Amino acid sequence: MFGYVTVNRPEMKVKELEVYRSYYCGLCHALHRRYGRKGQMVLSYDATFLTLLLTGVYEPEESERRGRCLVHPAILHRETANRYTEYAADMDVMLAYLKAVDDWKDEKKHSAKFLAMLLHHDYCTLRSRYPRQARALARSLKALSRMEQETRAKGAGAPGQLSYAEQMSGVLERIDRAAGYTGSFFGEMCAAHQDHWEADLRETGFYLGKFIYLMDAYDDLEADGRNGSFNVLAELKRLEEEHFEQVLKEILLDTAACCCRSFERLPILKNVELLRNILYSGIWVRFHQIRSGVPDRKKRPGWCVDP
């Protein structure tokens, strides 16, 4: 996935970090067991959060084991898993495949083509197993791709005869629309079941997905500018050069607040403080790193980067 939905380690208790690592390692093991080494290539913090979220809501029966792995062969570590670990692993692979296909189509990344080839058979199986989520993922990524192509074709960003207020209104509308596409498929992934908690889970995922998209755009803004790639925040930076980061922070704050409001309506007791650490603090870690000029080393972990 994207890798922004992680913990804020300095704000965690030691036991909470141990619990988080056990679910992270459980997810890594599930990816390996279900998809082999290629599955571990798409290991992400976002899918770990999805496991914790659904575990908190539904409290399924869990299994624990201690084991070693290829990356940490000398360390005996704890792994916690349940049926939502497997669900999160499946969602991770499904999204990784569609994202790789999209990256190859739009940017001709050979690494993306290679990953898509590796995951193609698995995606076909998952598409049949999760038709609702698969449709939402494909629809959202297609809409994002179409929006990027239309923006390039129209040369968005040319001020023309529009006033500042009109330009800003258009920019904010495009940002919200683009982020909403990502929010839509995250919402469907979080709504694992069609039941009483479906609406609040979908809303939590929707706003979290929007936050992730905006963070990803912010993280890639300079690189996209150098490469001439589409970035939905480029227009905002042009219009609000001096106050860009403050305006973006306000958008992110509003998005995160909406996410947390729907999260707090869920009946979660298990690991709730760990989940709050992620939603109230952890998702902001990379934002502050970007502002401070810290290089991005854990954006898309893969291969079991220590959380």
Residue 70 DSSP label: S
Q: CB burial class (10 A; 0-12, 13-18, 19+) of residue 155?
A: exposed
Arithmetic mean of pLDDT over the chain: 90
CB atoms within 10 A of CB 218: 23
- Percentage of the chain modeled with pLDDT above 70: 93
What pLDDT score does 304 carry? 53
pLDDT band at 298 (very low <50, low <70, confident <90, very high): very low
Question: pLDDT at residue 155 above 70?
Answer: no
What pLDDT score does 150 carry? 83
Between the alpha carbon of residue 115 and those of residues 142, 187, 266, the distances in Å are 19, 25, 36
Cβ neighbours of residue 176 closer than 8 Å, sequence gap 6 or more: 210
Superfamily of chain region 9-292: Farnesyl Diphosphate Synthase (1.10.600.10)
- At 183-219, the pLDDT tens digits run 999 999 999 999 999 999 999 999 999 999 999 999 9
**Higher per-residue pLDDT: 155 or 218:** 218
Separation of alpha carbons 205 and 307, rounded Å: 22
pLDDT band at 103 (very low <50, low <70, confident <90, very high): confident
Separation of alpha carbons 191 and 205, rounded Å: 8
Question: pLDDT at residue 156 above 80?
Answer: no
SS (H, E, C) 164-184: HHHHHHHHHHHHHHHHHHHHH
What pLDDT score does 159 carry? 56
- At 105-144, the pLDDT tens digits run 767 788 889 999 999 999 999 999 999 999 998 899 889 8
What pLDDT score does 234 carry? 94
Q: Hey, what are 41's tokens? A: 């290539």
* 193 phi, psi to nearest 5 deg: -125, 155
Cβ neighbours of residue 128 closer than 8 Å, sequence gap 6 or more: none
What pLDDT score does 306 carry? 61
Q: Where are the domains of the chain?
A: 9-292
Q: Which amino acid is at 43?
A: L
**Looking at residues 148-160, what average pLDDT do you find?**
68
What 3-state DSSP class applies to 65?
strand
What pLDDT score does 112 carry? 87
Separation of alpha carbons 67 and 25, rounded Å: 10
Question: pLDDT at residue 303 above 60?
Answer: no
Question: pLDDT at residue 297 above 80?
Answer: no
- At 231-269, the pLDDT tens digits run 999 999 999 888 999 999 999 999 999 999 999 999 999
